[in-house]
Structure 1
Amino acid sequence: MSTASVDPHAAENRPRLLDTVDRVCEMCFGLFMALTFVGAVSAMGAPENAAHDMFVTALGCNLAWGLADAVMYLVRTLADRGRKLSLIKAVRGANASSDAIALLRGALPPAMLALVEDPELEAIRSRVVRSSELPDRPALGLQDFLAALGVFLLVVLATFPVALPFIVISDVPTALLVSRILTIVMLFGAGIALGRYAGFGGWIAGLAMTLVGVALTAAIILLGG
């Protein structure tokens, strides 16, 4: 009988670089960052060159935060893999099968605790013990760096629907109106996508995301963000 290998990285080979939650959250993060500068333009009463300066500043800020968020995505991925690898090593090194099962059960999400029986965990423990291949340390692969690039691009691209109207439309009040409409549409669309992914009503989730986004943006501006 062939011996199965246990690689904590293999289970993370997803067909998509980022799941729906990742994509929506990163887009909203970039959107909120850009919105703070749009609010600043409105608060300043649109002085001369404010639109151009706002666009450049908003883009520069989202470039910086997109880079930081992408790096932290890699750090988070590496740390998560290290935790999983440590769990596998601990299971293989346990003195008794009951100790290994306790370790596996402790790693389960709370919602899964009542759904997974000890015999099922014993089967997993047996596979882990029989495994012949195990990475020495957690590592990042090409897909991880592509996903980090996706994080960066989502944060940066979210700048344009919010800030670009100020460059395209010369009348600042009109540009501000268009920017806010685009923002509401993006928040609503993000809410629908997130609601469908989570099994909620799409339209209700879209409305909720719009209200939350507007409230959060107002709070960020009031706090000096």
Structure 2
Amino acid sequence: MQRTGEQKRARVLDPVDRVTEVIFGLLMAMTFTGTISVATSGQEAERTMMIAALGCNLAWGLADAVMYLLRTLIERTRKRTLLATLRGGADAATGQALIAQALPPRLSAAAGADELESLRRRLVEFSSAPVEPRLGWDDLKGALGVFLLVVASTFPLVVPFLLLDQTALAVRISNLVGLGVLFIAGWILARYAGAKPWQGAIALTVTGAALITAIIALGG
């Protein structure tokens, strides 16, 4: 039961995964909308911008989804290799060292030799055999979620181009919308981390503003 729960948790996108994927897609789209020349106007230019932004995020969403599957497969292979090594006759000191390396640094430093040895014995004596690392339907759904989050983050930025005739004004409003989304994302991440939400929101918004300014200065 414990093993099943662990695998299920590993397949679900946690809040950090979801928000960071949105941020990634948002910044990629802002790269395109921010570099559109404010001197350019007309429906053709706006259509070109929207196609370019959407095409960019489609490509990067696909790449990020594939990377998600690759990370999942590598992590499971790593865990299986660790279990196989522990059960393959590794001595206690080697086993403890391997477990310490697999743990987060602070947990590894806090765990003493007794705790590491107890964990090593439990892993060695665990009755179930290591499962072959493979990808399942839930992993594919996770990858699809990554793809959709990256792609969906494009649309709030292109709405101003659908509603406004002035490209220059649409670019600025699109950037403001992007900053608003970054503010919300920073708030969510900081709250999830247990920090002060407004500090995280402001920090991420300022970082986004700096990126937008750099993009506009380079040709927006």
- Match status 1:192 vs 2:187: yes
Q: Is contact 1:37-1:54 (8 Å) kept?
A: yes
The normalised TM-score by structure 2 is 0.89
Question: Shift of residue 109 of structure 1?
Answer: 1.6
Question: Shift of residue 173 of structure 1?
Answer: 3.1
Identify unmatched segments of 5+ residues in structure 1. none
My pick for the range that moved more, 51-60 or 115-124, is: 115-124
Size of the alignment, in residue pairs? 219
Give the secondary structure class of the aligned counterpart of 1:13: helix
Q: Is contact 1:38-1:176 (8 Å) kept?
A: yes
Q: CA RMSD in A?
A: 2.4
Instruction: Give the whole-Å Cα distance in 2 for the aligned partners of 1:220 and 1:83.
Output: 40
Aligned to 1:164: 159
More helix by share: 2
**From 169, 176, 179, the counterpart of 2:174:** 179
My pick for the range that moved more, 106-115 or 186-195, is: 106-115
Give the secondary structure class of the aligned counterpart of 1:111: helix
Q: Write out the 4+ residue segments of structure 1 that deviate beyond 3 Å after TM superposition.
A: 217-224
Question: Shift of residue 36 of structure 1?
Answer: 1.3
- Match status 1:13 vs 2:3: no
Q: Percent identity?
A: 46
Instruction: Give the whole-Å Cα distance in 1 for the aligned partners of 2:88 and 2:211.
Output: 48
Correspondence 1:43-192 to 2 at 5 A: 43=37, 45-48=39-42, 49-135=44-130, 137-192=132-187
Aligned to 2:201: 206
Q: Is contact 1:6-1:133 (8 Å) kept?
A: no
Instruction: Give the whole-Å Cα distance in 2 for the aligned partners of 1:13 and 1:206.
Output: 30
Identify unmatched segments of 5+ residues in structure 2. none
Q: Which amino acid aligns with 2:39?
A: G
Q: Give a deviation string over 1:109-162, Cα, whole Å, max 9, x none.
A: 211123212222222222222223223531112221111111101100010001
Instruction: Give the whole-Å Cα distance in 1 for the aligned partners of 2:169 and 2:216.
Output: 21
Q: Give a deviation string over 1:49-83, Cα, whole Å, max 9, x none.
A: 21111001111111111011001110011111111
Q: Is contact 1:6-1:134 (8 Å) kept?
A: no
- Match status 1:27 vs 2:18: no
Instruction: Give the whole-Å Cα distance in 1 for the aligned partners of 2:144 and 2:127.
Output: 33
Give the secondary structure class of the aligned counterpart of 1:113: helix
Give the secondary structure class of the aligned counterpart of 2:132: coil
Distance 1:78 1:219, change over 3 A: farther
Q: Which amino acid aligns with 2:106?
A: A
Q: Which amino acid aligns with 1:50?
A: A
Distance 1:26 1:114, change over 3 A: same
Q: Which amino acid aligns with 1:184?
A: L
